[in-house]
Structure 1
Amino acid sequence: MGTHVIKMPDIGEGIAEVELSQWHVKVGDLVVEDQVLADVMTDKAMVDIPSPVHGKVIALGGQPGEVMAVGSVLISIEVEGAGNLKESAAPAPVKEAPVAPKVEAAVESKPAATATPRPAAVCQGPMVAREADERPLASPAVRKHALDLGIQLRLVRGSGPAGRVLHEDLEAYLAQGQSNASAPAAAAYAQRHDEEQIQVIGMRRKIAQRMQDATQRAAHFSYVEEIDVTAIEELRAHLNEKHGASRGKLTLLPFLVRALVVALRDFPQMNARYDDEAQVITRLGAVHVGVATQSDVGLMVPVVRHAEARSLWDSAAEISRLANAARNGKASRDELSGSTITLTSLGALGGIVSTPVLNLPEVAIVGVNKIVERPMVVKGQVVIRKMMNLSSSFDHRVVDGMDAALFIQAIRGLLEQPATLFVE
């Protein structure tokens, strides 16, 4: 028998260290080539580390949440024969494919299929006996799915590598009638005394650090404006009916991106970055719009570069491409950095008002709330109109309240009179 020692691979892009986010194996497990051993977290993306060999895990090189240098020992695997006795880096890491929501920005959806099709799960019994404190292997998407269904993961038999629980296993479990819904009605009123401690690591820790940094360093103020989007929704429906089959369907986001581009011509101070240490404001001619996107591992902000040079359909295609890349863990570092202003939306879950947090070092973020039909007075008549609020935040250190209000009013005018979006 020999020992194959795998070092933390060089993920590229000048990264010298990464955070170990999650192990998918434990000491004593048998692994096969290309089986995912661990997830590691860079500044922006979650990356899968696969095994280059078949063998048995004999040592793990770190704990989840630990920051490890590139080249440090990640895992030791016992292999048959002499083995590869020299230390080696893991094969090229593969970015994880988390759940992909369906619509724009930060909206919920059903889990999407990964690039490699998985065999259908076969339920091998009603449940699995695990210790109460044993944490079964499962992706964040599967854990959330189980939580939504009211299923205790420790009771579900996993059909994936190393017993990993898959979405199919949850469905098989429900099919066996073992969901919480089948429990006696009295169980719904039973006292509960369980607790769960969740370590803040990986993407969630990065998000927490950035949000804390933004709220501590910037002087946030928010401004909310009501917009009548009836006309632009009619235009969007017309364009989709006429060109949707050949050019793709348009959501509201490309129109919002276009409105930002046009409004920023008169308010260049909003398309800027503020270096508070150097006390320098950099205004940019290029409009690189960050589109806040919810992924299975947390909030990401892929960037639509040079939005000022894009048509509606070009913007729509790029937003869709970037959102899918972010949700599937395939967005590059360049695609997740360099924005000059951010657009954030919760889609149908957008609520009435929100207070978005700035994406430093930017000085403005425009938040989109949901569209609702309401009775409005138009020319003395009560009519039903489609209304939407924009809830936007600014850095009061460099943006005056009057300028922020005028900027949002300019966007409002463009959206309420959509022909002006295209008049040069």
Structure 2
Amino acid sequence: MSIYTFNLPDIGEGIAEAEIVAWHVKVGDQVAEDDQIADMMTDKATVEMEAPVSGKIVAVAGEEGDVIAIGAMLVQIESEVDESAAEGDNGQSDAVAESDALKSSQGIENKVKTAPEAPSSPPAVGENKAAVKAPQTDVMAAENAPLAKVLATPAVRKRAADLGVDLSLVKAQGEHIRHSDLDAYLSYGSGQGYRPAGASQKRDDETIKVIGMRRKIAQNMAESKRHIPHFSYVDEIDMTALEEMRADLNANRGDRPKLTMLPLMIVAICKSLPQFPMLNATYDDEAGLVTRHGAVHLGMATQTDQGLMVPVIRDAQDKNIWQLAADIGRLSAAARGGSAKSDELSGSTLTLTSLGPLGGIATTPVIQRPQVAIIGPNKIVERPMIIDGEIQARKLMNLSISCDHRVVDGYDAASYVQALKHLLETPILLFAD
């Protein structure tokens, strides 16, 4: 037997280090060649690392959340690899090294994902948490068969277990049950009436290590707020005519995807941008260079179980509403399902962020550095409006924009929103040359 040291390979161009976001093994575990041992996150993607040889794990590099350098030891495996055939400082044979290189260069594309999958149930104390993985699809309940499996994060499952709540009775507002869904059930849906805060809902304090996607989000947002002098501007837009047009388009869409408001808004954004090139730009503050982009690569902020992700619609200015609707559906599903590729999550020149039905009155979104602007439509609500001296019911929406004041002046931001407002309130112009 000999000790085989598996060093972290080069898992991406220009990558110097990677974060351990999940261990699938621990010291003492037996592994077979190609067994998954860890998930490593870089700035671009998460990569699954596999055991290069069979044997027993005798050492690991660190804990989840630790960052290690490319070329540093990831794990040590007690193996039957013939040491006499090994060459190099880490004792790997030419054949094994070649195998590792092939896995790094050829196999990595099929293993890239945006974030580790959430466990489907809370692991027992001392159990390797990363080894438990969520199912890929819901199990459909057949007649006279058990109900479909409930999708929820480990934290929600633990809280429900502590409170004695059967999660199959809790209605989810999305694909997974969240704490807000559990709160609503406890307050109104459990048949026990409203429970005052601080009574039966009291929970123990939790200390959670910030790692993986959550840490990347925290770092990026902190960098944006630290470097960018934000300002926000909000205006009200009458969406009545646009909503009527959307209803007509959906009624005659055939087999094309159903339109939300977003594809129409993206067309309006792209159509009004040429007059305001300072908004579709990126700012390299270290070099003192602003690049005004000709193409609109629109980032679309998407909420996932791992946190906020921003897949990119490439060349949005060249696509019609149906193509945009298809791209929105495909990219959103990929982001939420963890299958979005690295190049689908980078290279945006402007970002659109929408909270949908939760949109509120106004937002002050944080710019995705190095971009210089982000646009945030809010919730459409029906309110009374005075038109030609008469009170009419209209569908109104507040539109927010945040800009980098080093690059964009307040007058330019306000003027752009007015141009966007004109297109949205006169939607026939969206299709006029």
- After TM superposition, give the deviation of residue 224 of structure 1 in Å: 0.9
Matched AA of 2:307: G
Matches within 5 A, 1:135-150: 136-137=129-130, 138=132, 145-149=153-157, 150=159
Q: Kindly tell me: are residues 281 and 96 of structure 1, through their superposed partners in 2, closer, same or farther at Cα, counting changes over 3 Å?
A: closer
Q: Does the Cα contact within 8 Å between 2:22 and 2:116 map onto a contact in 1? A: no
Report the equivalent of 2:239.
229
Report the equivalent of 2:112.
95
Mapped pair 1:274 → 2:283: yes
User: For 1:313 and 1:392, how far apart are their aligned partners in 2?
Assistant: 25
- After TM superposition, give the deviation of residue 40 of structure 1 in Å: 1.2
Q: Does the Cα contact within 8 Å between 2:22 and 2:39 map onto a contact in 1? A: yes
Q: Secondary structure at the match of 1:248?
A: coil
5+ residue gaps, structure 1, are 101-110, 112-117, 156-166, 168-180
Tell me the alpha carbon deviations over residues 331-386 of structure 1, each in whole angstroms, 9 at most, x when there is no partner.
Answer: 33332222221111121222221110111222111012122222223333333222
User: For 1:12 and 1:208, how far apart are their aligned partners in 2?
Assistant: 22
RMSD between superposed Cα atoms in Å: 3.7
User: For 1:257 and 1:195, how far apart are their aligned partners in 2?
Assistant: 43
In terms of mean alpha carbon deviation, does 24-33 or 137-146 score higher?
137-146
- After TM superposition, give the deviation of residue 295 of structure 1 in Å: 2.6
Matches within 5 A, 1:94-113: 94-96=111-113
Matches within 5 A, 1:201-216: 201-216=211-226
Matched AA of 2:331: L
Report the equivalent of 2:324.
315
Report the equivalent of 2:187.
none
Report the equivalent of 1:159.
none
- After TM superposition, give the deviation of residue 143 of structure 1 in Å: 9.7
Report the equivalent of 2:37.
37
User: For 1:252 and 1:233, how far apart are their aligned partners in 2?
Assistant: 8
Q: Does the Cα contact within 8 Å between 1:46 and 1:329 map onto a contact in 2? A: no
Q: How does the TM-score come out when normalised to structure 1?
A: 0.76
Matches within 5 A, 1:109-128: none
Report the equivalent of 2:147.
none
User: For 1:38 and 1:246, how far apart are their aligned partners in 2?
Assistant: 43
Q: Which of the numbers 327, 331, 336 marks the counterpart of 1:327?
A: 336
- After TM superposition, give the deviation of residue 387 of structure 1 in Å: 1.8
Q: Kindly tell me: are residues 34 and 390 of structure 1, through their superposed partners in 2, closer, same or farther at Cα, counting changes over 3 Å?
A: farther
Q: Which of the numbers 338, 343, 358 marks the counterpart of 2:352?
A: 343
Q: Does the Cα contact within 8 Å between 1:99 and 1:295 map onto a contact in 2? A: no
Q: Kindly tell me: are residues 218 and 206 of structure 1, through their superposed partners in 2, closer, same or farther at Cα, counting changes over 3 Å?
A: same
5+ residue gaps, structure 2, are 136-149, 165-175, 177-189
Report the equivalent of 1:177.
none
Q: Does the Cα contact within 8 Å between 2:113 and 2:340 map onto a contact in 1? A: no
Matched AA of 1:238: D
- After TM superposition, give the deviation of residue 135 of structure 1 in Å: 7.3
Report the equivalent of 2:60.
60
Matched AA of 1:148: V
Q: Does the Cα contact within 8 Å between 1:46 and 1:203 map onto a contact in 2? A: no
Report the equivalent of 1:130.
125
Q: Kindly tell me: are residues 99 and 206 of structure 1, through their superposed partners in 2, closer, same or farther at Cα, counting changes over 3 Å?
A: closer
Q: Which of the numbers 239, 252, 256 marks the counterpart of 2:265?
A: 256
Q: Kindly tell me: are residues 233 and 33 of structure 1, through their superposed partners in 2, closer, same or farther at Cα, counting changes over 3 Å?
A: farther
Tell me the alpha carbon deviations over residues 115-159 of structure 1, each in whole angstroms, 9 at most, x when there is no partner.
Answer: xxx9xx9x9xxx98637xx77445699995243353359x9xxxx
Q: Secondary structure at the match of 2:25?
A: coil
Q: Kindly tell me: are residues 81 and 365 of structure 1, through their superposed partners in 2, closer, same or farther at Cα, counting changes over 3 Å?
A: closer
Query: Higher relative CO (CA 8 A, sep ≥ 6), structure 1 or 2?
Result: 1
Q: How does the TM-score come out when normalised to structure 2?
A: 0.75
User: For 2:211 and 2:115, how far apart are their aligned partners in 1?
Assistant: 16
User: For 1:128 and 1:422, how far apart are their aligned partners in 2?
Assistant: 54
- After TM superposition, give the deviation of residue 390 of structure 1 in Å: 1.1
User: For 2:295 and 2:36, how far apart are their aligned partners in 1?
Assistant: 40
User: For 2:286 and 2:276, how far apart are their aligned partners in 1?
Assistant: 24
Matched AA of 1:236: R
Matched AA of 2:57: V
Mapped pair 1:217 → 2:227: yes
